Structure 1
Amino acid sequence: MSTEVRNNTALERFEIYVDDALAGYAEYQDTASERAFVHTEIYPRHEGHGYGRILVRSAVDSSRNEGFGILPLCPMVRHFVETHAEYVAAVPQWARERLGLPQ
């Protein structure tokens, strides 16, 4: 199975495609310097295959490369950041404090 993550800027979400079929998305809202991830969903028939992790990693990496700080407001993105220590630094210091993330 092939996977591809695309940033659908018109809908403000990253979308993951599995064999060219939409399998889920991660919605975001941008400010001048931060990207808040507010909701992530993997469609039921695609759950349990690691697509959520692929989607979130790609979305966070792309956002960092664009110069955004990450605000992991959605539980799936927050869990990803909490379990991948190398991504904590992408969260602004003020947000780490408010969200109880490691400093």
Structure 2
Amino acid sequence: MSTEVRNNTALERFEIYVDSAIAGYVEYQDTVSERAFVHTEIYPQHEGQGYGRVLIEAALNATRAEGLGALPMCPMVHHFIETRPQYLSMVPHWARDRLGLPQ
């Protein structure tokens, strides 16, 4: 199966496509210097296959490439960052304590 992640800026979300069909998305809201990830949805027929991880990783990598920080408001994005220290630096220090993330 082929996967592709696209940034749908009109809907403010990254979408993951599996074999050209949408399989889920992560919604965001941009501020001046951060991107707040607010909700992630993987459609039921695609759950449990690792697509959420692929989607969130691609969204965070694109966010980093744009020079933005990340605010993991969504529990899935929060867990992803919490378990992958290489992404923790994307979360501003002021937000880490508020979100229960290590400094």
Say whether the fold is shared (TM-score over 0.5): yes
Tell me by how many angstroms 1:100 deviates: 1.4
Determine whether 1:43 maps to 2:43: yes
Q: For residues 75-90 of structure 1, what are the structure 2 equivalents within 5 Å?
A: 75-90=75-90
Opposite residue 29 of structure 1, the aligned amino acid is Q
5+ unaligned residues in a row in structure 1: which ranges? none
Tell me by how many angstroms 1:85 deviates: 0.8
Number of aligned pairs? 103
5+ unaligned residues in a row in structure 2: which ranges? none
Distance 2:100 2:91 in 1: 11
1:31-62 CA distance string (max 9 Å, x none): 01000000000000000100000000000010
Opposite residue 97 of structure 1, the aligned amino acid is D
Tell me by how many angstroms 1:29 deviates: 0.1
SS at match of 1:95: helix
Opposite residue 8 of structure 2, the aligned amino acid is N
Distance 1:102 1:3 in 2: 32
SS at match of 1:96: helix
Opposite residue 43 of structure 2, the aligned amino acid is Y
Distance 1:77 1:89 in 2: 14
Opposite residue 11 of structure 2, the aligned amino acid is L
Tell me by how many angstroms 1:30 deviates: 0.3
| Runs of 4+ in structure 1 over 4 Å off | none
Q: Tell me the TM-score normalized by structure 2.
A: 0.99
Give the match for residue 55 of structure 2.
Answer: 55
RMSD: 0.4
Opposite residue 51 of structure 1, the aligned amino acid is Y
SS at match of 1:77: helix
Opposite residue 33 of structure 2, the aligned amino acid is S
